[in-house]
Amino acid sequence: MKLRTQNPPHIRSRESNLTMMTDIVIATLPLYAMAVYYYGTRALLLGGFGVIVSSLADGACQLLAGKIPNIRDLSGAVTGLLIPLLLPASAGYSMILLAALFGIAVAKQPFGGMGQNIFNPAAAGTAFAMICWPKSAFAYPIPFERLPAMVDDTVRLVSSPAYSLSLGGTPNIDLLDMLLGNVPGPMGGTNILVLLTCLIFLIVRKTVGLAMPAAFLGGASLMALLTPRVDAPALTAVAYELMSGLLVIGAVFLINDPVTSPKRTLPKIFYGFGTGALSVAFRHIGRYEESFLFALLVMNATVWIIDVWGEHLAHAMRRKNREFKTNPPVSEPAEQDVGAAQK
């Protein structure tokens, strides 16, 4: 009997890359359901188009790099699912196409593909599309008006609450409507309640942790509280800032991208808090009404530095603990021994 040897451990957890990616795909499905409810079946067409383009681009880039595309790797499909959710439901197919191609072929694969990219592909692609078509990327259809498959000039497009906020005015929209997503806005970014449910699903499945989204929303709230843009009661202003634009969908999907986020808890909190604060700060100085994606990309670039800094911190903590264990302080030796033993 000849057997192949394997390194320990000889049992493995059932979770795999595939299950993690499937979790994210499952979490986007309620958002697509809501989008169909508000805007009609065009939402599904956009999603399907995004998935096909990104998956094909992902596979083609891998073939070009001399690798065999892995069918279990759903990361390209996830990028394709997220891009339409960040754009208006009236976005043209060319916009999705360019966003997906930029995300995969510029932001992801040249860095080495899956797991090696510095910038989140969905965020980079969408930000690129926003720069290319600033007008149509920030003009949104009205909920409950069915969109045709091909959007033409007959479709009524309006601005989102984020635009009125950027002009310094209070949006004339009920907060409950904003919570339910009954406002013009990015296709998946307006359904705050559904998004929070998706977040709870992902946290319960342990696909994402609580630290980063919480720190992110905390950082954004604090920044909004300190630098109010609108003349409203402080908490109302914070609620408007949080619920407009892409902050909540970012807290669920983009900030939690495992590839482009730090690994230890304290760096995670730092990164989340920094991204949140920076997104709101960029709203003051940026040209666009929604600047979360740009803040995210800026913070993505610092992740490795944050990680190394986190390792420095952990290293220093270990050194301190070890010194304490090997040379406990001389006073009260008995008690110190017990304390060291429990460490």
Partner 1 sequence: MRSYPRKGILLEQNKEPGLSKEIRILPALPVERSELPGPVSSTPDLLAPYEIVSIAKEANIVDEIDGRRLWKKLAQAARESVSGIVVDALDDEPYISSQLAPTLQFPEQLHQGLRLALRAIGASKSSIEIYRNLFDLDTRIPSSIMGVKVDRISGSYPAESYARRRMQRNSTLVVGACALLFLQRAVYEGLRQTSAFVTVTGDCVANPGNYEVPLGVSAGALLEAVGLITNPKRVVAGGSMTGFSLTDPSTVYLSQTTRGLLAFAEEFQDMGYACLGCGRCTEACPQGLSPYFIYKVMQSHRKHHIELADADLCIGCGSCSYVCPAKLDLAQVMAQAAAYTHRRQTSGGQP
Name the one residue in this structure whose structure tokens are 């995969």: 104
Question: What distance in Å separates the CA atoms of residue 269 and residue 253, rounded to the nearest whole number?
Answer: 16
**Is residue 111 a contact partner of residue 150, using CB atoms and an 8 Å limit?**
no
Cβ 195 to partner 1 shortest distance, Å: 21
Q: What kind and span of H or E run contains 281?
A: helix 265-285
Cβ 67 to partner 1 shortest distance, Å: 9
The number of residues that bind partner 1 (CB under 8 A) is 45
**Which one of 16-24, 29-37, 178-186, 225-233 is the stretch in contact with partner 1 (CB under 8 A)?**
16-24
Site string for partner 1, 57-76 (x = CB under 8 A): -----------x-x-xx---
Cβ 264 to partner 1 shortest distance, Å: 6
**Which one of 7-15, 125-133, 219-227, 290-298 is the stretch in contact with partner 1 (CB under 8 A)?**
7-15
**Is residue 76 a contact partner of residue 54, using CB atoms and an 8 Å limit?**
yes
Question: What distance in Å separates the CA atoms of residue 58 and residue 62, rounded to the nearest whole number?
Answer: 6
**Which one of 46-54, 95-103, 110-118, 226-234 is the stretch in contact with partner 1 (CB under 8 A)?**
110-118
Tokens of 150: 């091909």
Interacting positions 277-336 with partner 1 (CB under 8 A): 307-308, 310-312, 314-315, 317-318
Nearer to partner 1, 244 or 256 (CB): 256
Among 101, 114, 155, 232, binds partner 1 (CB under 8 A): 114
Cβ 56 to partner 1 shortest distance, Å: 19
SS3 80: helix
Among 113, 185, 213, 245, binds partner 1 (CB under 8 A): 113
Three-class SS of 85-143: HHCCCCCCHHHHHHHHHHHHHHHHHHHCCCCCCCCCHHHHHHHHHHHHCHHHHCCEECC
Which DSSP string corresponds to 235-264?
A: HHHHHHHHHSTTHHHIIIIITT-STTS-SS
**Is residue 129 a contact partner of residue 87, using CB atoms and an 8 Å limit?**
yes
Name the one residue in this structure whose structure tokens are 């498959």: 149
Cβ 259 to partner 1 shortest distance, Å: 5
Nearer to partner 1, 4 or 287 (CB): 4
Q: What kind and span of H or E run contains 157?
A: strand 157-158
- Distances in Å between the Cα of 236 and the Cα atoms of 171, 228, 251, 328 are 11, 10, 20, 53
Dihedral sign for Cα 167, 172, 176, 178, please: negative
Nearer to partner 1, 35 or 202 (CB): 202
Among 45, 264, 298, 302, binds partner 1 (CB under 8 A): 264
Cβ density class 140-168: b for 16+ within 10 Å, e for less: bbbbeeebeeebeeebebebbbbbbbbee
Cβ 188 to partner 1 shortest distance, Å: 22
Cβ 107 to partner 1 shortest distance, Å: 15
Name the one residue in this structure whose structure tokens are 């950082």: 219
Question: What distance in Å separates the CA atoms of residue 53 and residue 103, rounded to the nearest whole number?
Answer: 11
Among 12, 135, 172, 333, binds partner 1 (CB under 8 A): 12
Cβ 291 to partner 1 shortest distance, Å: 25
Among 85, 115, 129, 144, binds partner 1 (CB under 8 A): 115
Among 261, 275, 291, 300, binds partner 1 (CB under 8 A): 261
Nearer to partner 1, 9 or 333 (CB): 9
**Which one of 14-22, 137-145, 164-172, 245-253 is the stretch in contact with partner 1 (CB under 8 A)?**
14-22
Positions touching partner 1 (CB under 8 A) are 1-13, 15-20, 68, 70, 72-73, 113-116, 258-264, 307-308, 310-312, 314-315, 317-318, 340-341
